[in-house]
Structure 1
């Protein structure tokens, strides 16, 4: 594969077109690329599949020197390096998977200026020997991927990330770019502070993944619910998440006995088995990976068509990141979450039994309440999900279960007024448990200590159970009438939005107790695979996929490294008949056109 050589007058758009095969940038990409190429620092928040990698890969090929990409996982590095080499880009990685001789060869290439991009783990980067090596190299930029790992409150905290301020201190003239797909407001602020990016620009894209259909259901018959869901996704690749290793093993065995290609993945398996199963998931078609959350971060497979959670994830951030592994190619995909009371109890027990400081526990409780609010909302799931990341979606999405099949609700205005009034009268200083004690008329020690038995709201909520009040709290948080101080003491506070409810100027619809849904597949639970505008093109699409698989197997790489499904769909629909026409297809750059063009043109000509 010939290496790409940037022309002296090369600009970002030239690189985008000739290397990556795209005619135009998407969203904030152009602004980010130009800012970083000019030497600016930045924090980039962009959803999975939104094109974060291009935000540092294009400037890396425009600026002189080698771009150093800090990445937390070997799988992610390997995937990115494979894909870049297919494009003719001089990319390499340094991690524990390399033999000493291979590592020395990569280090020599860096010292000689023979690399465009070098991926390295934070642990390796922080060693004295590697920093000394960087001192003698010409560095184009530093890209810090998965930057949310810097947050101690995040779901994937890695202490090494906090030491990356050394890049700013030791290489002050080199631009730094921190990227993540998962960061709520507090996490974003922490990234800026911990990485000393105060002078950098923040590029905040929408967190919305409109191609993903969200479904959240109470557990009725989980095995039947999963079976019905997978029947609607036959022969498609997907991930099924379980809370425990034992459940992973049992679920994978059940799916295998039902004739599905299902593989287990968890930290208890030996490294060779995990590597073999991950390799099959990446390189074969229609594999279902049943896994704990040990699997998935850094997996760049674009054609994952579904993600199922058989148990509650730990937070909305974790849910968003894990469901975001579906549909990276932008094609229709689906996320199903099944939850039950036992899940809630386990997560509460996990939080309360940990030896974490009380401040950490308060944060975790707040995150759990927000997640349960998402599960229990009667309004659009996507609106609630995006609200958590401080983003407003003006209209219901029309592509989640509550939009497609609205749940049973009741007029909860009076209940909401009672709760909001109690929060106000207790001074917006207490968590849900204490406020509910006051509403229920519980004259316990804490209530008596603060004199709250004398409040007008004391005992006015006896018509609802404690669990029902907790559900109402979570729904009002989800609706934006209440907020939880997750950075403080977990106290409930009133928002400006609640004023209309308290005045009686706005009604509040609350979701009634959920009724178990039947396990059967409804019309809204269709398979999510690629859909061509003309069914007559399906046969050609299958032939193109077969050729892609043959080429990929010969090289030992995943099929999507050759071409994405979206590119094959365009080939099947447009049927280019020359190399020039083929080169106009999105996703086909010069290197791939030279290497694979004649083979794909031959299949298209055969029809």
Structure 2
């Protein structure tokens, strides 16, 4: 169970309740199954309990959590769109006043600063909501400044202890290659000027042929994940695999899928019913399959933290694996920073620029990573990245989307 065991132990030892705030919805069901095997009663609560149109909006939440030993909730079940307490959070606070919780734990705690949604910002106030309860935060990717924020703003710094380990996974071969993704040009009017009508780009399976064949050649029948943060292209890429690499069975996964669908996809993949998952970054946190041999990401992740999360899906069994970043040129202005205040936006752009430096580096990939996360750099070469191994440069790949009118039925 990894770090999850740290959340469970206080309840096992004291028989008191623990509240775990889990930002990654599919993990709720993973946690539930694992904890129930230890004889504990579990309540899993997501936004279907707080959304006015949610399937569980009429469920008596207070009664539900009273019957549980472990309470697992998502941030959007704790707080509304304005960052105010939801009925779920009010019920937990009320319960704590009569039957004190032993622990409030926040998983993937760095997201309290990396996500723009009010529900995530509200997580920074946990120590005020539960002044008499022990707090714990966990994250697999936090720089030194982020760890300092966790201690100072989210935890009680004078009574907290920090435990951390290296972000490095030495069994994973890190590779970084440049690809070209051409933007569709605006549709021209008869006079040769750009039309006023809105337009957007859309790819076809043929645009992905070269990349699909390359990945299929490497992956063969080994478990793999392909990340691309363009939800509209995910199904097209899956179609390209069916057309050009039909022996690679694929599943698709995006953040738009509901929690039940996401959990079903994870279950199929864990049962080895597919070789490759084609997904957005929503798949990058906490997926616990240990035998993934290949991870690919097309584009530039918004931060090295995000890339480490995704790359870390590979080789969790300690055996050799590869994490390949297929990056293309993007400027901070092209990235989405909506909802961030000026300070958070400045930090987000700084993280993105660090990610771009990693992509364009001419020295050891791990050295760049260690310096970013504030770790001591022991040696110049890691002997397991494309630069240290002097691997050949990837053959030129160009993905050229078509431009179509947004008014068309897509």
State the TM bucket, normalised to the shorter chain: 0.7 to 0.9
Q: How many residues align?
A: 353
Judge conservation of contact 1:143–1:176 (CA < 8 Å) in 2.
yes
- The reply to whether residue 293 of structure 1 matches residue 293 of structure 2 is no
- Give the corresponding residue for 2:31: 80
- The reply to whether residue 192 of structure 1 matches residue 151 of structure 2 is yes
Q: For the residues of structure 2 that align with 1:270 and 1:198, how far apart are their CA atoms?
A: 37
Q: For the residues of structure 2 that align with 1:68 and 1:245, how far apart are their CA atoms?
A: 32
- Give the corresponding residue for 1:54: 5
- The reply to whether residue 250 of structure 1 matches residue 236 of structure 2 is yes
- Give the corresponding residue for 1:399: 384
- The reply to whether residue 208 of structure 1 matches residue 168 of structure 2 is yes
- The reply to whether residue 149 of structure 1 matches residue 111 of structure 2 is yes
Match of 2:77 among 112, 124, 132: 124
Q: Over residues 113-155 of structure 1, what are the superposed CA-to-partner deviations in whole Å (9 max), with x where a residue is unaligned?
A: xx4422122343443233213322342211111111211xx2x
TM-score (norm 1): 0.52
Judge conservation of contact 2:93–2:130 (CA < 8 Å) in 1.
no
* RCO comparison, higher one (Cα < 8 Å, 6+): 2
> 1:103 Cα shift?
5.3
Change (3 A) 1:275 1:229: same
Q: For the residues of structure 1 that align with 2:211 and 2:356, how far apart are their CA atoms?
A: 20
> 1:336 Cα shift?
0.6
Change (3 A) 1:134 1:235: farther
Q: For the residues of structure 2 that align with 1:176 and 1:272, how far apart are their CA atoms?
A: 29
- Give the corresponding residue for 1:111: 66
> 1:296 Cα shift?
3.2
Judge conservation of contact 1:94–1:103 (CA < 8 Å) in 2.
no
Unaligned runs of 5+ in 1: 1-19, 21-50, 408-515, 521-607
Judge conservation of contact 1:280–1:287 (CA < 8 Å) in 2.
no
Change (3 A) 1:377 1:58: same
- Give the corresponding residue for 2:405: none
Q: For the residues of structure 1 that align with 2:324 and 2:142, how far apart are their CA atoms?
A: 22
Q: For the residues of structure 1 that align with 2:98 and 2:41, how far apart are their CA atoms?
A: 19
Q: Over residues 328-347 of structure 1, what are the superposed CA-to-partner deviations in whole Å (9 max), with x where a residue is unaligned?
A: 3333321111123xx324x4
Larger radius of gyration: 1
Judge conservation of contact 1:326–1:334 (CA < 8 Å) in 2.
yes
> 1:62 Cα shift?
1.7
- Give the corresponding residue for 2:394: 517
Judge conservation of contact 2:10–2:16 (CA < 8 Å) in 1.
no
- Give the corresponding residue for 1:7: none
- Give the corresponding residue for 2:366: 382
- Give the corresponding residue for 1:368: 352
Unaligned runs of 5+ in 2: 50-54, 79-84, 182-207, 398-410
What is the DSSP-based 3-state SS (H/G/I as helix, E as strand, rest coil) of the residue aligned with 1:176? strand
What is the DSSP-based 3-state SS (H/G/I as helix, E as strand, rest coil) of the residue aligned with 1:118? strand
Change (3 A) 1:86 1:303: farther
> 1:324 Cα shift?
1.8
Query: 1:264-413, aligned counterparts within 5 Å?
Result: 264-267=252-255, 276-340=264-328, 343-345=329-331, 347-350=332-335, 359-395=343-379, 396-405=381-390
Change (3 A) 1:364 1:160: closer
> 1:97 Cα shift?
5.1
Q: For the residues of structure 1 that align with 2:240 and 2:251, how far apart are their CA atoms?
A: 11
Match of 1:66 among 5, 13, 17: 17
Change (3 A) 1:276 1:301: same
Q: Over residues 552-588 of structure 1, what are the superposed CA-to-partner deviations in whole Å (9 max), with x where a residue is unaligned?
A: xxxxxxxxxxxxxxxxxxxxxxxxxxxxxxxxxxxxx
What is the DSSP-based 3-state SS (H/G/I as helix, E as strand, rest coil) of the residue aligned with 1:69? strand
Q: For the residues of structure 1 that align with 2:133 and 2:93, how far apart are their CA atoms?
A: 14
Q: For the residues of structure 2 that align with 1:304 and 1:217, how far apart are their CA atoms?
A: 20
Judge conservation of contact 2:46–2:76 (CA < 8 Å) in 1.
no
What is the DSSP-based 3-state SS (H/G/I as helix, E as strand, rest coil) of the residue aligned with 1:172? coil
